[in-house]
Amino acid sequence: LQKTLNVRKSVLLMELEVNYGLKHKVLQNQLDTLLEGQENIKSCSNFTAQALSHGTETEVLLVKKQMSDKLNDLADQEFPLQPRENDQLDFIVETEGLKKSIHNLGTILTTNAVASETVATGEGLKQTVIGQPMSVTITTKDKDGELCKTGNAYLTAELSTPDGSVADGEILDNKNGTYEFLYTLQKEGDFILSLRLYEQHIKGSPFKLKVIRSADVSPTTEGVKRRVKSPGSGHVKQKAVKRPASMYSTGKRKENPIEDDLIFRVGTKGRNKGEFTNLQGVAASTNGKILIADSNNQCVQIFSTDGQFKNRFGVRGRSPGQLQRPTGVAVHPCGDIIIADYDNKWVSIFSSDGKFKAKIGSGKLMG
């Protein structure tokens, strides 16, 4: 903070020096002009006086026209008699904004999450395929097994390869108590995934992963694998209350929904078409489309009102027309699709068929 104040002091002193120099230059030029005019007047006056005092009538007649022209020029010449600058150089101390900033300076980050209750789930804990992006969801819980609802926990992931080296991965904080560990492996073999919360292993950690070639996975076995629970999924306790059916219920909740009834569900977890890993925004258009923004898959998917997949668009990146972390989606009355991108800090506008049209902001919108 002291360093910042010193920098500000230096900037203000520099501004003072620059403004003083500019004012001084203007006034100095004005003074030089006045002194030059004064010198011309003195010179002409002395010449005229000497000619009249010491010259003969003939000499006076010879220089009369020259003296008259010179005196007329001096009489017609205008001089800057009023100051062309002012002497204001004030310093105003504005402390109210500084006081507010100091009042809001810093924040305390903490969670109630403990490693002994925190669990991991997802496709990334199953048999994985070389070159295929995988995801592991870490759900933090407190000492009573209750879900934590805030982020910023100190979570680390270490993926050890068969030769003892460490593979790369990325942890994304969803800011709601859950985290995503994303990784892609480029060699087959047995890997060890260690997930630690505050330097302590979470439930089930370290996890053993088997990485195989894509040719070793048949469509049939792959479909079966997607229905098998991951090693950590059995630890996630979901609380639900089964409500008695409405007296008007026909058993078809979609036809006769009441408050809080589940009408239908769209999509499954994954990274393919019609699948999600981290939904952040949902919107509905007037022409019967449901649009869903997925921040981890970095795309927007379009479904019909009956849940059928229609289209998907979005390419990962930080250039106009690309998506880095879409967190919100809306539909303009004209049909354009508007997407808020948290990481790129701008809003992208696409046509109804997913073609990029424009963007708002240039990486400066605060998320």
DSSP 164-192: S-EE--EEEE-SSSEEEEEE---S-EEEE
Answer whether the bond into residue 244 is a cis peptide, omega within 30°: no
Query: Is 154 found in the same domain as 189?
Result: yes
Same domain flag for 118 and 193 = yes
User: Are 12 and 86 within one domain?
Assistant: yes
Confidence at residue 215, expressed as pLDDT on a 0 to 100 scale: 59
Q: What is the CATH number of the domain that holds 159?
A: 2.60.40.10
pLDDT at 238: 35
The reply to whether 247 falls in a domain is no
Q: What pLDDT, on the 0 to 100 scale, is given for residue 261?
A: 55
Query: Which segment of 26-35, 89-98, 308-317 scores lowest on mean pLDDT?
Result: 89-98
Residue 266 lies in a domain: no
Residues 95-132: pLDDT tens digits? 888 888 888 888 888 999 999 999 999 888 877 888 88
Check whether residue 122 and residue 169 sit in a common domain.
yes
Report yes or no on 252 lying in a domain: no
Q: What is the pLDDT of residues 237-289, one digit of tens each?
A: 333 333 333 333 333 334 434 345 567 778 888 888 889 999 889 999 888 89
Query: Residue 286 falls within a domain, yes or no?
Result: yes
DSSP assignment of 119-157: EEESGGGS-EETT--EEEEEEEE-TTSPBP------EEE
Please, what is the average pLDDT of the chain? 81
- Of 191, 212, 233, which residue constitutes the final position of a domain? 212
Q: What pLDDT score does 363 carry?
A: 59
| Residue range 295-343, pLDDT digits in tens | 999 999 999 988 888 899 988 888 888 998 999 999 998 889 999 998 8
Query: Looking at the predicted structure, is the pLDDT value of residue 86 above 50?
Result: yes
**Same domain as 96, residue 118:** no
Predicted pLDDT at 252: 39
204 lies in the same domain as 300: no
Question: Do 353 and 295 reside in the same domain of the chain?
Answer: yes
235 found inside a domain: no
Same domain? For 46 and 121 the reply is no
Which one of 3-12, 35-44, 172-181 scores highest in mean pLDDT?
172-181
Boundary (domain end) residue, out of 104, 135, 153: 104
Residue 260 lies in a domain: no
Strands annotated E in the chain:
114-121, 128-129, 134-141, 155-160, 166-167, 170-173, 178-183, 189-197, 200-201, 207-212, 268-269, 275-276, 279-284, 289-294, 299-304, 309-313, 326-331, 337-341, 346-350, 356-360
Last residue of a domain, one of 62, 81, 104: 104
Task: Examine the domain organization and report whether 190 and 94 are in the same domain.
Answer: no
Number of domains in the chain: 3
pLDDT digits (tens, 9 = 90+) for 171-222: 999 999 999 999 998 888 889 999 999 999 999 999 999 888 875 554 444 4
140, 191: one domain: yes
Full residue range of the structural domain in which residue 169 is found: 114-212
Mean pLDDT of 25-43: 90
Question: Is pTM, for the whole model, over 0.85?
Answer: no
CA gap 183, 194 in Å, rounded:
13
Counting Cβ atoms within 10 Å, is residue 275 exposed (0-12), middle (13-18) or buried (19+)? middle
| Pair (11, 95) in one structural domain | yes
Structure confidence at residue 43 (pLDDT): 85
Are residues 97 and 186 located together in one domain of the fold? no
Cα–Cα nearest to 260, from 278, 247, 241: 241
Query: Does any domain span residue 127?
Result: yes
Please report, for the domain that includes residue 284, its CATH number.
2.40.10.500
| pLDDT tens-digit series, residues 50-74 | 777 777 777 777 777 777 888 888 8
In this structure, is residue 176 part of a structural domain?
A: yes
